[in-house]
Each structure stands twice: as structure tokens, then as C-alpha cells.
Amino acid sequence: MNYSDFKRFYFKHVFHNSLLKENYHNNYVKNLNYTLLFSILDKPQRFSSKFRITSPKLKIMQFLTQKGEIDFGNALEDVINKILEDEGFEKKNRKINDISENTRNKKDLDFHFEKNSKIYFGEIKIRDDHDSTKRRGQIENFFNKYEILKQRNENASKKIIGIIFFIDPSFKKNKNFYERIINEKKEKSIFDKSDEILLKYGKEFFDYLNLSNYWEELLNWIKQLRKEMEEEIQKIDFDSYIDFELFDNISKNEMPSLTKKIKNLLSEDIWESGLAQEISKKGIFWNELKNFLDQKSNESFKHLSEQLEEKIKKYY
């Protein structure tokens, strides 16, 4: 596990469009620009509505940074799994059947491994900051997963170690609650005395597994990615980074309603608000889009090309 792997997992979740993963998984700037393009094609009012305090430029920054934050937890989940796999933990199926209910009802484990005849499973969250309702459901669901694993025949002679892992150690809102529930379950023999149910924050998780060096590595990877993001997010510019060969692939594979999507780009709000000029400062993108439309035989595309030409003349 290295920084390249870490960055790849981040790209996989934040830029989860299949075309992006295939063609631009190593180019953060192109991923940013395409992610923004797809979002504007889908819902332009998200960026250009008159009922917004933020300017289009600030909204673009907000959208891209929030998307990274929202999907970061899933990326870190993959990172943790890769670290464990690299360190000799045997990967097991993370989807398990709930045998107490319909066997088709599968539950997901954030990690599930075996090493030295011990089963390791658990939940991974970035922060312990849930409200009281969510925390109760989360820990009950955790113990339900433990019961499923315990009832499996192949685990009969194996010690099970369940870990609730919060990555950010600065958030411990419900620590006392989780510890109390775990102790109550233990006293009532809800889980086998030979098994362990643990609550870990930050470095504690890696220390327990004798993988302490990965904590500093993880912090350095996050710091490095943050630095790259701060630099690259300033380079939102469709004039330089939108490849119309990929755009053509979108029309064939992923956007059968491309006509409707391009109509969204021609809405007056996009142009009046300044969003059109913000994403294409020199107008190159819009001229390339016009050329793209002109090459299509479909009459609806030609009509869109005429409308776009009027916009270019008016606003550039």
C-alpha cells in the first residue's frame, strides 16, 4: 500500500463515472473538470439558480470540495482493507447472509478477514459524531452481524474479533455510550467470552493490529492529497481539459438523452449568471461544443448548434 494506491481509491469513489476511471484515473484535474461537466449537464440550476448567495465560482468550489468530503469515507474503507490484505490478513466475503431472516437478505461488513484462526470484522466510520438515534441503530446492527458470523459452522472453533473503528480520533461524542453497551452485552453473555468486541479511535486500531507505522503513513497521504487538491482545484477550465472524443463516447454509452442535457447548458440562467464564462473563460469549450453538434446528422443537434451560436455571439 502506497500513496499511488491511496490516490487511486480516492479517484475510484469521488470520480465514479466509468469513463473517468478508465481514461483519466491518474489525472486529477481532468477528473475535476469532467465531474463538474456531468453535474452541470444533469442539474445546471444547482450552480446558476437566482436564489443563491454564492457566485458560480464559489458554488463550483463548494460542490467539488463537498463531493470529495462525502465520498472520502468510502475511499478510506478501501484503503484500510488494502492495508490489511497487504499485511497478510486473508480476505473474506464482506457480504454475509442473515440466517435469522430471509437468506437473500445480505449485510455488508466494512472489513472481514482471517488471520491465525481469528476472524476480524468491523465497521469503519470517519467520525464519532452521530445523534442518539443513529448510534443506537449502528451498534445494534453491529452486534447483529457478530451473531451471523458466530452462527457460521466454519467459525465454530475460531475467535471472533469485532472492531468499531472511528478514523478521526478528535471526535468521540458517543464513546461512553458505545463502551457502556459493549460492557452490558458482555455481562449478559450476549457475545462469547472468548471473543472480543472493541472500540478503537485513530492510531489505536493500527496499534492493536501491530501495524502502527501505517497511521503516520495515512496522515502523510492525506496531507499530500490535500496539498495537490488545493493546487489543482484552481484549474477548473473546460477550455483546456474537456476532450470531445470522450464527450462523443458519452453520447453513445451513457447519455441517451444527450439532447436534453445540452439543452440544460443553453438555459439562460447559466449564461446570465456568469457560469458559462466561468467554466470557459475564452469560449473555446463552447465553440468546440458547437463543432461537435455540427458534425451530427440529427436535426435536434443542429438546432442546438444554432442556439449555442447565438449565445456565443451575445456573451463573448
pLDDT, tens only, 119-136: 999 999 999 998 888 899
pLDDT, tens only, 128-177: 998 888 899 899 999 999 999 988 877 778 999 999 999 999 999 999 99
Q: How confident is the model at residue 111 (pLDDT cuts 50, 70, 90)?
A: very high
Q: What is the pLDDT of residue 18?
A: 46
pLDDT, tens only, 262-308: 888 898 999 999 999 999 999 999 999 999 889 887 788 889 999 99
pLDDT, tens only, 174-203: 999 999 999 998 888 877 888 999 999 999
For domain 88-210, give its CATH number from 3.30.1150, 3.40.50, 3.40.1350, 2.60.460. 3.40.1350
Tell me what percent of the residues of the chain surpass a pLDDT of 90.
49
Q: How confident is the model at residue 248 (pLDDT cuts 50, 70, 90)?
A: low
Nearest Cα to Cα of residue 90 among 113, 112, 121, 122: 113
Q: What is the pLDDT of residue 249?
A: 62
Q: What is the pLDDT of residue 261?
A: 81
DSSP class of residue 14 equals H
Strands 95-97 vs 106-108: parallel, antiparallel or unpaired: antiparallel
Strands 159-166 vs 111-115: parallel, antiparallel or unpaired: unpaired
Q: How confident is the model at residue 38 (pLDDT cuts 50, 70, 90)?
A: confident
In Å, what is the CA distance from 203 to each residue of 55, 200, 230, 269? 40, 8, 26, 49
Q: How confident is the model at residue 99 (pLDDT cuts 50, 70, 90)?
A: low
Q: Give the residue range(s) of CATH 3.40.1350 domains in the chain.
A: 88-210
Cell 481509491, residue?
9
Half-sphere exposure (Cβ direction) of 128: Cα atoms closer than 13 Å: 23
Q: What is the pLDDT of residue 194?
A: 86
Record the pTM.
0.81
| Contact status, residue 246 vs residue 23, Cβ threshold 8 Å | yes
